[in-house]
Amino acid sequence: MLRAILRGLTFAEAIAATISYGVVATLLMVDVVGRELFGAAFLGLQQLSVYGAIIAGFLGLTLTTSDNGHLRPAFMDFLSGPRFDPLFQRIGDLVSAGFFLTGAYICWGFVQVSMALGDRAPVLYFVLWPLQLIIPYAFASAGLKHLIFGLRPDLKPQPGDPVH
C-alpha cells in the first residue's frame, strides 16, 4: 500500500510539474512572439509564467524526494561506518519527515493569513492563496515520503537506481 501511495503521488506530481512547465514555456513563447512580431506585449504573461515556474519548482522538491535525489553532506560518513548506515539513514528520513511536516504546518498558517487578508497578485489582481497552496502541499508531500522511507527503508530508492 505504501508503495502504491509513493507511485501515485510521484506520478501525479510529475504530470502536474510537466504541465506547469509546458504552460510556462507556452506563455513565454506567446509573449516573445507578441513583442517581436506584433510589437505588443500581453499584460500579465510574464507574471503568470513566474507563478507556473514556482509551482513546478515546488513540485520538483517532492519529485527529488521521491527519487532520493537531494544533495547531502557526505564528509562525515566515515564516523558511522557501513554497519550503522541503515540506522542513520532511517533516522535521517524520520528527522527530515519531522522537518518537512513542521514546515507544512507553518506554511499552512501563512496561506491562512493570506486568505484572511485577501492578498492579491500585483498586475493581475487575483487572490494569491490558491497559488500558495503548493507550498504546504510540497512540504507535506516531501514529509510523507520521508516518513514512508523511515518506516519502510526498502521503498527508498538507492543512488544509481533508475529514475521512475
- Structural domain boundaries of the chain? 2-70+84-155
* DSSP assignment string, 33-97: HHHHHHS-PPTTHHHHHHHHHHHHHHHHHHHHHHTT------TTGGGTHHHHHHHHHHHHHHHHH
pLDDT of residue 78: 74
With bands split at pLDDT 50, 70 and 90, how would you rate the model's confidence at 86? confident
Q: How confident is the model at residue 17 (pLDDT cuts 50, 70, 90)?
A: very high
160 Cα distance to chain centroid: 22
